[in-house]
Amino acid sequence: MNKLLLALFCTIGLVHADVHSNMAKPILTAELQGSEGNKEKEIDGLIKKLGTIGYSTVAANKNIQVHYYNKFQEKNVEMISFFGVVNKEKIRPLLLANPDFGAYAPFNFLVYKTLDTQSDNNTWYGHLAPDTMLDIIGSKNEDNRKAFKKMVGSLDMLVNKEMIPALSKKFEHTKPLPAHGLTKLVKKFDNTDDLETFVEDFISDHDGRFSKHDFIIAGFIDYKFEYEDMDLEFDKYDAYWVSLLCHFKFSNSIFNRGIPEAGMFAPCSVYFYIPKGTNELHVGYASVDNWINALNFRDQRRIDYMKAIDAEVVETFEEMGFVKENQESSVASQAISKEKQNTELETLKAELAKVKAELEALKKKEQIENNTSKVSSEKEPVAKESSEEKVISVLPTKTFKTAKFTLGKVAPNVLSAYYAAQPQTLEGTKQNLEKNGFTILAQTEVLKGHTVLTITNAQLQATNTFLATLNVHVNGKDEIRVQNPSYFAAAYLQDKYSYGQFGDTLHALQSALGDLYVVNDVFETTELPEYQFMMGMPHFDDFIEVSEGEDLVQKVTSHKAEKYVAYTLKLPNGTILVGHKLRSRTNKFLHKINAERNTNILPYQSLIKEGKAIILDPKYYLALSLPLLTMSDFMKIASAPGEIEKDIKRAYK
């Protein structure tokens, strides 16, 4: 019996030893640092100091657990935030050497804390190991690898200095990363004389298509624009930009269900570039297979779901005309494309036959008219010109279905964010406003066909706040829309505001624009002083500091700042109010949520006071200004707050 047991133990020992001898050597995926308790405030302080080492955030997607809860009614993490970080100056030579570095430009700095306060009451923070990122990219050049590691190392040094972590935990993998870590596709396009418009149209199409598949754009950076703005050479590419792609349901199913560390891989940096002088648009990103292997995923159902979402990304790009580099598009995609082509061909044939029939009918009609018409040919163009003049000179009259505004003595239960009036010509609107005591500070075409007049008067300026101006949307088609000073005063002035306080301004607007009507964008009057889109989102006084220094006024009034600044206005207390022109691409967030009617939420404002420039947090201002905004709408424009902040900071460079 003893011999049998001894033999059994030896056998087990041999098997155990054999398993270990055949196991691959563990490879580091990432090492996260940890600090006890919730360190959100300390992390915020760290992020503010990124600029001291040349880093910046492409996107700061904070407290995503709030959005998970609001959308899915699940809360399994106390806090999870994603910061897309990049050192633009240091990454430039790497992008020039190899465009695939865009897969981690930016890379994600993950911060999370679980709900387990008993065994893991810690905040964890960090990113993928540099070697992991480099191996996924497929970079073999030792000089490039050293430069990338040095760049990432400078961030790690700052983190250690500011956070003083007391803990760390390693994530390792034994299964090798995919042989090809990046999914890369290419699309050929027709030559164009206006590449900027082509890119703008493509991005709009791209964002719209992915939105229909429940993806959101969580961040965006245009490197071609950034380096031109920094006066740095980047001529290897006619265009180069990165979009941060996120599937909200997908991320909730992983980060909010037991694997928050997988957030190191998200959002996915999808990079696009057009090599100089070509008509090829390339796209690339790290495939989800990297997640699966690097974090040792075992649940096959979860793996299948992850791969299905990854395949959906490829299919969406193939719908846009992309094919995998050095490969044909998928069989399914080819079949769909062929079927679509056949359908389109049959449709075109039918339309051609219809046109031919109509053409024959027109020829017969023309022959009859030529034989029978006795009308002088000299009179026809006169009648046509007269008709055209009539169309141009007469503006449409709108029938409003909402209530006409009257200023009562008692505040209504809800306030309208805007008032609408009958359409006027742009010049007519300007003249009428000036006749009624308003000064026009700026005329800004925010979107094509949507012009905004920024106006002020003494009553508004006396507030010494963001309320010192109002924006008037003039599109010349169906209505004029103006911001309601009472609505924004209730939110900005809070207990210093009383209903009717801006009666003079409202009566002047009525005189200038005619009868004013409330709109559907309303909010409860008593709740405006403490307005918050949802729990965890900013309030009015959660300002963002965009710049600091003694020369801020000189910067925004310089010749170079003209393309960034719509107006400046000195207020009675010496504060300077600045209206900012955002990039046309940034403004297009209004299209994504069908909010063109409310284009007059822009230009965006900053205030210069005591050597600091501040703005309202865009997550507060956009939601306040668009009270009909839903959670789904907000996620569609997830990148807009960050883009607005970046655009404004440019004016203060």
Q: Is 319 exposed, middle or buried (0-12, 13-18, 19+ CB in 10 A)?
A: middle
State the helix-helix crossing angle for 300-319 and 331-372, rounded to 10 degrees. Answer: 30
Domain ranges of the chain: 27-333, 414-651
φ/ψ bin of 297: left (φ > 0), alpha (ψ from -120 to 50), beta (otherwise): beta
Task: Among 90-104, 170-184, 186-200, 318-332, name the one with the lowest average pLDDT.
Answer: 318-332
Q: Is the pLDDT of residue 639 over 50?
A: yes
Q: What is the DSSP string of 160-224?
A: HHHH---EEEEEEESSPPPSS-EEEEEEE----S-HHHHHHHHHHHHHHHHHHTTEEEEEEEEHH
pLDDT classification of 367: cutoffs 50, 70, 90: very low
| Residues β-bridged to residue 219 | 244
Q: What is the DSSP string of 293-357?
A: HHTT---HHHHHHHHHHHHHHHHHHHHTT-EETTSPPPHHHHHHHHHHHHHHHHHHHHHHHHHHH
The Cβ of residue 168 has, within 10 Å, a number of other Cβ atoms equal to: 11
Q: Which whole number is the average pLDDT over 409-429?
A: 95
Give the predicted TM-score (pTM) of the model: 0.74
φ/ψ bin of 326: left (φ > 0), alpha (ψ from -120 to 50), beta (otherwise): left
The per-residue pLDDT for range 129-170, each reduced to its tens digit, is 999 999 999 999 999 999 999 999 999 999 999 999 999 999
The per-residue pLDDT for range 435-472, each reduced to its tens digit, is 999 999 999 999 999 999 999 999 999 999 999 999 99
Q: Which whole number is the average pLDDT over 185-199?
A: 93
- What is the predicted pLDDT for the residue at 358? 62
| Residues β-bridged to residue 220 | 243
Mapped onto helix, strand or coil, the DSSP state of residue 377 is: coil
Q: Which CATH number fits the domain 27-333, given the four candidates 3.30.43.10, 3.30.310.70, 3.40.50.970, 3.30.70.1730?
A: 3.30.310.70
Strand 268-275 relative to strand 280-286: parallel, antiparallel, unpaired? antiparallel
* Tokens at 585, concatenated: 């691409």
Q: Is 123 exposed, middle or buried (0-12, 13-18, 19+ CB in 10 A)?
A: buried
- The phi, psi pair for 326, rounded to 5°, reads 60, 20
pLDDT classification of 369: cutoffs 50, 70, 90: very low
CA 508/CA 472 separation, integer angstroms:
13
The per-residue pLDDT for range 327-348, each reduced to its tens digit, is 544 433 444 444 444 455 555 5
The per-residue pLDDT for range 247-294, each reduced to its tens digit, is 989 999 999 999 999 999 999 999 999 999 999 999 999 999 999 999
Q: What percent of the chain has pLDDT over 70?
A: 86
Q: Is the pLDDT of residue 652 over 90?
A: yes
The Cβ of residue 325 has, within 10 Å, a number of other Cβ atoms equal to: 14
Which of 433, 461, 447 is closest to 607 using CA atoms?
Answer: 461
- What is the predicted pLDDT for the residue at 326? 72
